[in-house]
Amino acid sequence: MGDADPMAGMLDDKTALISGCGAGIGRAVAHRFAREGATLWLNDLRADAYDAVLAEVRALGAAAEGSSGDMSDPAYARAWVDGAAAEHGRIDVLYNNVGVSRSGLLGDITDEDWRFVQATTLDSVFFATRAVLPHMVASGGGSIVSMSSGAGIGGHYNLGGYAAAKAAVINLMETVATEYGRHGIRANAVTPGPTETAPLVAYLETQPGGIAAHVADLDLARLSQPEEVAATVCWLASDLASNLTGICVRSNIRAASRLSK
């Protein structure tokens, strides 16, 4: 078989929505979906990042449209989803990637920081998921994949607001799986563990011991790569995972007993 990709064409003839596509894991997922044959409907808050990824996936041969906007705004999220359905007639995949963290001990988190993290990280997933459900029901099914985090499993020191939101994302996907499985809709979460994205690398390089100290007690003793996470997301989105729903794929995170300091 040579160098042929064994998963090529996994998303042929599927319309896939990706929020937060502008960098890191979201960008890697957009590229992977494009190579797997999906028709893409993209989003990012930053117009320049959205435009750049739109051009990149089109260069890979994908049909791609979408818009730049704030997924924590329920009106925008619904219009974004409804626009995809109107353009393509159906929605087969929704990948929720929007999220943000702000550090701080629970006793020090401000009201503004708490609401910002919950709105961006949890509300955005809920609004897009709620908007896509009737379209998937009408077309007989679909796959929803949402990005969680190792911080959402067992709690996380100094990231209480973010950890709470990411734990809720896992629960939300479990609830969708329970309520909508009979309609052919699958819903799953992914916790990729620390991943080599520009913001994380920049942050770790300012910390004592740098990247090496941070990865020492990860399961794989290294950072995950965005392309590795994208492969997992693509598999869950595809028909190869047709009987998997309500699960959280945990990869390369600290064991729960080591999450707190």
162 is catalytic: yes
**pLDDT at site 256:** 42
8, part of any domain: no
Marked catalytic residue, from 50, 76, 95, 162? 162
Q: What mean pLDDT do residues 185-195 have?
A: 93
Instruction: Find out whether 42 and 27 touch, Cβ atoms under 8 Å.
Output: no
Q: What mean pLDDT do residues 118-129 have?
A: 98
Percent of the chain surpassing pLDDT 90: 77
Phi, psi (deg, nearest 5) at residue 152: -85, 0
48, part of any domain: yes
Longest dimension (CA), the chain: 57
**pLDDT at site 2:** 45
**pLDDT at site 8:** 67
Evaluate if residue 205 carries a pLDDT over 90: no
| Residue 196: alpha-carbon gap to chain centroid | 15
pLDDT band at 95; cut points 50, 70, 90: very high
**pLDDT at site 255:** 52
> Per-residue pLDDT tens for 126-161?
999 999 999 999 999 999 999 999 889 988 888 899
SS3 128: helix
**pLDDT at site 7:** 52
Q: What mean pLDDT do residues 1-9 have?
A: 55
Nearest to 66 by CA among 40, 46, 91: 40
5, part of any domain: no
Range of the domain at 170: 15-258
Q: Whole-number mean pLDDT of the chain?
A: 92
Instruction: Find out whether 232 and 253 touch, Cβ atoms under 8 Å.
Output: no
Helix and strand numbers, DSSP H then E, in the chain: 9, 7
Please count the structural domains in the chain: 1
Nearest to 226 by CA among 18, 29, 14: 29
pLDDT band at 122; cut points 50, 70, 90: very high
**pLDDT at site 22:** 97
Q: What mean pLDDT do residues 105-131 have?
A: 97
Q: Is 1 exposed, middle or buried (0-12, 13-18, 19+ CB in 10 A)?
A: exposed
Report the CATH number at residue 215: 3.40.50.720
1, part of any domain: no
2, part of any domain: no
74, part of any domain: yes
Q: How far apart are CA 165 and CA 177, in angstroms?
A: 19
Q: Which residues contact 149 (CB under 8 A, 6 or more apart)?
A: 99, 162, 163, 166, 191, 192
Q: Which residues contact 241 (CB under 8 A, 6 or more apart)?
A: 143, 186, 188, 235
125, part of any domain: yes
Evaluate if residue 6 carries a pLDDT over 60: no
pLDDT band at 1; cut points 50, 70, 90: very low
114, part of any domain: yes
